[in-house]
Structure 1
């Protein structure tokens, strides 16, 4: 094709061809247009005072491919350049010139060319068919929808890894292997502890917890609670608590296999602090949102056992866990009752209300003296312990108001704590902090004092 341009005297013009497409069909004349761009940056290669006629010919057959550099170099007739190169036409000399583009010949690699380059010369010869294949390969590489070129089937990956002696296991397979090793009488205590910790990591997932039951693993964990080794008791309780947490099906299975009764027995006997902490964790997880288990817990003297632990605990760690568990149980029943006002006649909700009606928690708390036990947690120096005690006291207020009003120690503690935390709040306001954690504690104290008036 021909490009004719009439230039003005003294003006420097050049022809810029962006991203030369050299994969045009061989043997046909290209219908692509060349664009003449006026140089506005002051670059000058020469001037043209008359019509300059530039002819760009395309030849069939093999192309001699020029490997561009950082500098402009002249192109000869029949020569081609890789995709992404910058090409211009010098109107002073009438020659085409080329240099490297921004992509730096990214896709011009040995993978896209069947021609072996044995030397590092600036030029090489390649056929038109090879160029077409290279361009097609580049297009496929840039296709974002070409998923099959990026990913391999799982079966193929497994076969490859099997050849490398690598084993790919699902969670179910891992749990089965762990349980088999736990059942093995030759397994040492240290190995069993590691196996239980691996199980605890897996049973957090709802599906894995249910699979633990179907494989008979839950019964194995409950048996671990009866071990003579305190470490195995502690870790088994940890696994059980994680498995039943927010997993109703596992909660039911745990009660059916006697886990709650075993935990109550462990709470009532002398145990190291670490064991009791994990046992309380398991009990709290098993009772949460499970009125049947709560009723069973209360009917078997659970609150009496908790009161003994609360009285014996001087550090407050176990006290806080017990008070938090009681607060959760009270709040659950109250929320279920309130939700019934909005749901109307809902069969599932009515069944839950019926189940919670059998849980006489408030009466048991009053009878077992918890109205006088919980205020003792306010004596702790930990802010978190005090906050949990205040929330529990507010939840128990409807049944404990008479005891609160007659408890001079409680009245004095509330006044002292209010002055202490109010001073902390004012100090935070001075430094620009508002709505702080201490302000929440002050609000809890104020709310309790209002109820006690």
Structure 2
């Protein structure tokens, strides 16, 4: 008050001097307050360009104040007035409570270790700006682990030969499929190999020959001859696994099919089928025969000329369980359908040399006459006696395919007529039950349609 009145009277202090003195006192009061521990937000001033007032030496200026920082969690928590939050935190305003809430994301939270939390408890939960900056720097480095340095990026991609050398030093070896198959054949032919080891080798080969190139390479290595020797083995397990490997190698692989026929594989397979063998062996051998004949008229011609249908008819009659019957009928249906499709394609397409050759080869497959002669017109209907719907379906499709050659025998077979009538009533009832439940276009509807089609053919003269 004295200074104000003195300023007003124009005595020893001028008005400007009075204002300056008041400003000094105010700054002193601010400094005194900032000297105490504060719960206000963290403020960091960093001068990185070396210019601007204050420091002419270009060094960084930092004002570090230890402030109370909110404890990070995965859940939203209320943020009290004056509390600081680490960089990277998610902050929102809760419209229901009117309070600010904070949460850390997963990437940031994983750096908030238990050890760090214990340290903060001991120090009163205060963090310096450098600590927060280092944590965020670590997060950014982990989020971008690949260096932008071209030399480091190039080191990630290394030639295969270099990797092989490095792994050889670690007693590791990278083998190609060709090397693996060569090693397996050597082990199989070794006199020290046991029957159990040879069985495991065949299973490994079966896995590899699903690839077309591997199957062809195995043949070129002499593997086909090894498999055929396994089929002639007295060990039933080796016979079974050898047939399994052969069937997988032949599937959709014309190159291997040709080599197999030239190597006498078909005769070996038929011989195994003709000899009394356990069911598991015959199933695998039938798989190999079907793979050899599929889409290969030359093999089908040899199959018929070597009495293949006679061997299959004996198997069909001896099989009481129906498993082999199903496979045999499916195989016959495929052979009939292939020949029919080739002849139909010739009516619509412009013929080329390859198609003409296939038609010529299929013309040599006298399948119709052989089926009629070997009594298959009366054998296939026996599959309808099965209780399995799938067995019946395969039988109906085969009977339709054989109808052009077997109609006379179908009409004279009273048991076949009775079976068709009984099956139609059964499946029609199933269809009606499904329609009540709101199901349409069911599997049983398809079976009814197959029966109707066969009955129409039998009534047509």
Deviations 1:405-449 (CA, angstroms, capped at 9, x unpaired): 111221121112111222222222233333222221111111000
Instruction: Look up the match of 1:349.
Output: 355
Instruction: Look up the match of 1:405.
Output: 411
Instruction: Look up the match of 1:84.
Output: 88
Aligned runs of 1:49-128 on 2, under 5 Å?
A: 60=60, 68-70=69-71, 83-84=87-88, 102=105, 105=108, 122-123=126-127
Higher Cα Rg: structure 1 or 2?
2
What TM-score results when the alignment is normalised by the length of structure 2?
Answer: 0.72
Separation in 2, partners of 1:139, 1:418: 68
Deviations 1:15-37 (CA, angstroms, capped at 9, x unpaired): xx9xx9x999921789xxxxxxx
Question: Which stretch has the larger CA shift, 159-168 or 315-324?
Answer: 159-168
Specify whether residues 135 and 328 from structure 1 end up closer, same or farther in structure 2 by C-alpha distance, changes over 3 A only. Answer: closer
Instruction: Look up the match of 1:337.
Output: 343
- Shift, 1:163, TM fit: 5.5
Separation in 1, partners of 2:377, 2:229: 36
Instruction: Look up the match of 1:316.
Output: 322
Separation in 2, partners of 1:444, 1:317: 22
Aligned runs of 1:27-426 on 2, under 5 Å?
A: 27=49, 60=60, 68-70=69-71, 83-84=87-88, 102=105, 105=108, 122-123=126-127, 137=141, 140-141=144-145, 148=153, 153=158, 155=160, 162=168, 165-426=171-432
**Whose relative contact order is higher, 1 or 2, with alpha carbons under 8 Å and at least 6 apart?**
1
Separation in 2, partners of 1:164, 1:65: 53
Specify whether residues 434 and 108 from structure 1 end up closer, same or farther in structure 2 by C-alpha distance, changes over 3 A only. Answer: closer
**1:333–1:356 Cα contact (<8 Å) kept:** yes
**1:291–1:356 Cα contact (<8 Å) kept:** yes
Specify whether residues 192 and 101 from structure 1 end up closer, same or farther in structure 2 by C-alpha distance, changes over 3 A only. Answer: closer
**1:371–1:396 Cα contact (<8 Å) kept:** yes
Instruction: Look up the match of 1:3.
Output: none
**1:83–1:105 Cα contact (<8 Å) kept:** no
**1:237–1:282 Cα contact (<8 Å) kept:** yes
Specify whether residues 167 and 419 from structure 1 end up closer, same or farther in structure 2 by C-alpha distance, changes over 3 A only. Answer: same
> 2:431 matched to 1:430?
no
Question: Which stretch has the larger CA shift, 174-183 or 324-333?
Answer: 174-183
Aligned residue pairs: how many?
389
**2:146–2:153 Cα contact (<8 Å) kept:** no
Deviations 1:144-189 (CA, angstroms, capped at 9, x unpaired): 9x99599664747656655654444333232222211111122111
SS of the equivalent of 2:351 reads: coil
Specify whether residues 266 and 131 from structure 1 end up closer, same or farther in structure 2 by C-alpha distance, changes over 3 A only. Answer: closer
Higher strand share: 1
Separation in 1, partners of 2:326, 2:213: 31
**1:23–1:132 Cα contact (<8 Å) kept:** no
**1:23–1:135 Cα contact (<8 Å) kept:** no
- Shift, 1:309, TM fit: 1.4
- Shift, 1:208, TM fit: 1.8
Separation in 2, partners of 1:24, 1:367: 101
Separation in 2, partners of 1:251, 1:23: 81
**1:65–1:82 Cα contact (<8 Å) kept:** no
Higher helix share: 2
**1:107–1:138 Cα contact (<8 Å) kept:** no
Deviations 1:26-57 (CA, angstroms, capped at 9, x unpaired): 21789xxxxxxxxxxxxxxxxxxxxxxxxxxx
Separation in 1, partners of 2:382, 2:417: 12
